[in-house]
Chains A and B, each alone.
Chain A
Amino acid sequence: MRGFGVFLGKELREIGRTWRIWVLPGIVLFFAASGPPLAKITPELLSSLVDTQGTGMVIQLPDPTYVDAYLQWTKNLSQIVIFALIIMFAGAISAEKRGGTAILALTKPLSRTAFVVGKLVSHTVLLVVTTVVGAAVTWGLTFVVFGEAPLGPLAGATGAWLISGVFFVALMMLLSATMDSQAGAAGVGLVVYLLLSIATVWEPAVNYSPAGLVNAPTGIAMSESVPLGWPIGATIALAMLFAAAAIVVFRRREL
């Protein structure tokens, strides 16, 4: 792990000084800020939409609550944010290989293990900090808009999603270490996401695999009881396996 601290410092500075600081945080904060107000006005929007069409139909929707704001948040995390993460992180390692920066760094006493772990840690830090800030914004605005915002369901749902997020960070590190094409790695990442989503219709997969975390944030946000032990354990184990595989693959690659 020689050179890890210096390389991680570079990675964190790079996030702060390039487009990376705008994309993922921008998306997360946009949805965090827009979710609660949108949840509040959605019934009114639907009603006015029906009225303007003059059908005479009357839609009765329950009054929105903080749960609707939390569901907006978890839905956005599970779909748009995870897509952004997959696409953005698909070139984490391959872009440095393609651009020649990896060569300058790795012909100095920086081990390839430290290189991959530095990437993994910095991208995880970006994801965690962004998500926690987004959750805090959601919580604060939910309280302002609805007058109540219990912390437990939001924290639980966000935490469960974050474990999925870290799983995808590790997966993208492996794909980026394996493939030179960022588009190719992103494509495979999206296929994995799609397969996990499809697997949610099969109960054993929901009970014992990362597929169990796909819909878990929604259930937690609604204060439902969700079995999490096996899905969390399996997701963490697979994330660690992906990280280890990324290191092994990158150490064997010629630059």
Chain B
Amino acid sequence: MSAAIEISGLTKVYGAHRALDGVDLEVPEGSVFGFLGPNGAGKTTTLRILSGLASPTAGSGRVFGHDVVASTSAVRAEIGFLPDVPGYYEWMTADEFLRFAGGLFGLSGEALRGRVDALLDLAGLTGVQTRIGGYSRGMKQRLGVAQALINAPRLLMLDEPTSALDPIGRKEVLDMIASLRGRTTVFFSTHILADVERVCDRVAILDRGRVVAAAEMTELKSRYGGQRFVLETTGDAPVLIDRLEAEAWVTGITQLADGRLSVTVSDVEAAQRALPAAIAVLGLGLKRFEPGEISLEEVFVDLVGGER
């Protein structure tokens, strides 16, 4: 699989602040890639450099092989971009704005008409004659995704597309993004973990200007979190905790508020055999034995949340 985005040693310094600190990242073509990080991690800066709005202090970025500094025209021809706070000519209608955007890509006539109609339909804005100034945030965000698709881009870059939306608006935009799977590469920055879990197949976690993890979703969870078992027993839990902490395949134990134990393990098969056995050996009763996946939120907090 070829790379849609290749970032190497990307650094951006604003005065004394190091917004990006040697970011290395590869986004495979065809993926829906979540670029996850807390506010201020450097997600927007990365997207601004990739789209030619800002220059790196050091390092390089390539989009489908085109250098983002030296070949901005070639990059722009390949991408669709939605900034975190999109600004519109509010006197235009959605139809007019999409025609303007298409015109900048050299589209005209029937080709432009057809694409505008299709995108208005995708954004749920067909027949809306209100000027953009009168739109809700959700409508503006859906229009934002639509305008970013006007050139049928090979790479769609979305900066926090759902952060300011209510639950319905979020769902609508995420549905739009999910519908693009297999049609284009989506590079999607956010700090909302649930959005990434819902639509992305790959993810990178950025913290303080550095990529701290990058992998497929399932691989990331197993690499950083493994599996988890929730146990509810009768009897002396501290004794069980002491016993489990000695096992090599146990990576963490947390006693939940209701007394249950959450045991994180690195070897699922070993845990499936040994956990019930350990409970039996200690003469405890087993009321609940519930396997479950580590959520992305837990991985995220584990990777970036510890020092906050």
Contacts and interface: CB of A to CB of B under 8 A. Distances in A.
Contacts, number: 65
Given A104-B88, A254-B55, A255-B53, A2 B73 contact: yes
A109 interface: yes
Interface in B125-163: 147, 151
Contact of B88 (A101, A110, A255): A101
Contact of B53 (A14, A99, A103, A110): A103
Given A108-B76, A109-B76, A110-B104, A103 B89 contact: no
B12 to A, nearest CB: 10
A174 B77 CA distance: 28
Contacts of A254: 48, 53-55
A99 B87 CA distance: 6
Contact of B83 (A96, A103, A109): A103
A156 interface: no
Contact of B52 (A17, A100, A107): A107
B79 A107 contact: yes
A107 B76 contact: yes
Nearest to B52: A107
B306 interface: no
Nearest to B55: A254
A105 interface: yes
Q: What is the predominant secondary structure among interface residues of chain A facing chain B?
A: helix
Given A2-B73, A254-B54, A109 B104 contact: yes
A6 interface: yes
A100 B81 contact: no
Interface size class of B (residues with CB under 8 A): 20 to 34
Nearest to B89: A101
A197 to B, nearest CB: 36
B105 interface: yes
B51 A108 contact: no
Nearest to A102: B87
Given A14-B91, A101-B88, A107 B81 contact: yes
Contacts of A17: 91
A10 B91 CA distance: 11
A96 B87 CA distance: 8
A105 B76 CA distance: 11
Interface string B55-88: 1000000000000000001001101010101111
A253 to B, nearest CB: 10
A107 B73 CA distance: 9
Interface in A198-255: 254-255
A224 to B, nearest CB: 45
Of B79, B87, B91, most buried by chain A (CB within 10 Å of CB) is: B87
Given A100-B83, A104-B83, A254-B55, A109 B91 contact: no
Interface size class of A (residues with CB under 8 A): 20 to 34
Contact of B103 (A6, A14, A96, A101): A6
A108 B86 contact: no
A3 B101 CA distance: 10
Given A107-B53, A255-B53, A6 B91 contact: no
A109 B87 contact: no
Nearest to A252: B55
Nearest to A108: B104
A106 interface: yes
B100 interface: yes
B25 to A, nearest CB: 20
Contacts of B101: 104, 108
B106 interface: yes
A3 to B, nearest CB: 5
Interface in B204-228: none
A96 B100 CA distance: 16
Nearest to B150: A108
A104 B147 contact: yes
A73 interface: no
A7 interface: yes
Contacts of B54: 254-255
Contacts of A10: 89, 100
Contacts of B77: 109
Nearest to A19: B91
28 contacts: A2-B73, A6-B100, A6-B103, A7-B104, A18-B91, A99-B87, A100-B83, A100-B85, A100-B86, A101-B87, A103-B83, A103-B86, A104-B87, A104-B101, A104-B147, A105-B104, A107-B51, A107-B52, A107-B79, A107-B83, A108-B101, A108-B104, A108-B151, A109-B73, A109-B105, A111-B73, A254-B48, A254-B55
Interface of B: 48, 51-55, 73, 76-77, 79, 81, 83, 85-89, 91, 100-101, 103-106, 147, 151
Interface of A: 2-3, 6-7, 9-10, 14, 17-18, 96, 99-111, 254-255
Q: What 9 pairs across the A-B complex have the smallest Cβ distances?
A: A100-B87, A6-B103, A108-B104, A107-B81, A101-B87, A99-B87, A254-B54, A255-B53, A3-B104
